[in-house]
Amino acid sequence: MRSITDLKAQEACSLKGLLFDLDDTLLDHGKLTEAAYSSLFRLRESGLLLVCVTGRPITWGKLLVCQWPIEAAVCETGALSAHWREGRLAIWDTISADARQANAVRLAQLVTAMREQFSQLVVASDASERTSDFTFDIGETQKLSPEVAQQAAAFALSRGARTSKSSVHLHVSFDVHDKASGTLAVLCKQLGVDSTVARANFAYVGDSENDAPCFAAFSTSIGVANLQGQFTVPPRFVTRKPSAQGFAEAAEQIISQRSKR
């Protein structure tokens, strides 16, 4: 990985948009700092389309789209999104209502089995707000051992589910999307961005294992200094500072380089 200072003007000026994770990327231990929030406005003023990409619930996404200078929030690890359509807030689910109900039944059964098998699992505080997945707290309010988290994920996988890990949660779902495929679907079908253009001309900033698909999918990929997890394709750039400070650092580099055009 190269330092974020190696991101030069030609690449920064070619960008059409910026995609970013929430927990431990834009947020600092769940808190929004003035520097990070200010960076969003400055990035938008530089001409970039901004999209939040998070494992957090769609209820969060609806609020963020209304309050922040962003065009969309891709939520629940790519399964649903909130975005602006003709001046109004719209919600998009990647599957039909019937399929969503069927998945919900299967997921409830799986979660019951997981909690019976692994007594150490703690339900995440936002689990009740979710539509497509279920989350266990592995680092938000308590630390679950990596071994137990891995065993729980393997248990879910053996029963046909998909799993992903962020810095705070273990996600379990029967949806097929990950952050990258869900984001590309939203960009293409809801925001009118060609998928080839998105891959080549959108940057992604993240910190954890469930950001791995986006690090692989988008040409300009950036990890903040607290980056953790296993990555087949690591981000191309990394910041010196962690979390919100790292996001602001990346934003400053992009904005300063775009000013040279």
pLDDT, tens digit, 9 for 90 and up, residues 6-35: 999 999 999 999 999 999 999 999 999 999
Burial class (CB in 10 A: 0-12, 13-18, 19+), 44: middle
Q: Is 90 exceeded by the pLDDT of residue 260?
A: no
Residues 6+ apart with CB under 8 A from 81: 58, 61, 72, 73, 74, 75, 91, 92, 182, 186, 190
Q: Tell me how far apart the alpha carbons of residues 254 and 257 are, in angstroms, rounded to a whole number.
A: 5
Distance separating alpha carbons of residues 109 and 126, to the nearest angstrom:
19
Confidence of residue 5 (pLDDT cuts 50, 70, 90): very high
Which pLDDT does position 229 carry in this prediction?
85
pLDDT-derived band at 2 (thresholds 50, 70, 90) equals: very high
pTM as predicted: 0.93
C-beta of residue 223 within 8 angstroms of C-beta of residue 206: yes
Q: Which CATH architecture has domain 97-172?
A: Alpha-Beta Complex (3.90)
Percent of the chain with pLDDT over 90: 94
Task: Report the pLDDT averaged over residues 210-216.
Answer: 96
Domain boundaries, the chain: 2-94+177-258, 97-172
Each residue's pLDDT tens digit, 93-117: 999 999 999 999 999 999 999 999 9
Residue 140: the pLDDT is 94
Retrieve residue 144's tokens. 């679950």
Q: The dihedral of CA 224, 221, 145, 139: what is its sign?
A: positive
Instruction: Tell me what pLDDT residue 84 has.
Output: 87
The pLDDT of residue 143 is: 92
Q: What is the pLDDT of residues 36-93, one digit of tens each?
A: 999 999 999 999 999 999 999 999 999 999 999 999 999 999 999 999 888 889 999 9
Residue-level pLDDT at 261:
74
Q: What is the pLDDT of residue 252?
A: 98
Q: At 201, which helix (H) or strand (E)?
A: helix 195-201
For the structural domain made of 2-94+177-258, what CATH number should be given? 3.40.50.1000
CB 210 within 8 Å of CB 24: no
- pLDDT-based confidence at residue 210 (cuts at 50, 70, 90): very high
Give pLDDT, residue 85.
85
Asked if residue 26 lies in contact with residue 20, where contact means CB atoms within 8 angstroms, the answer is yes
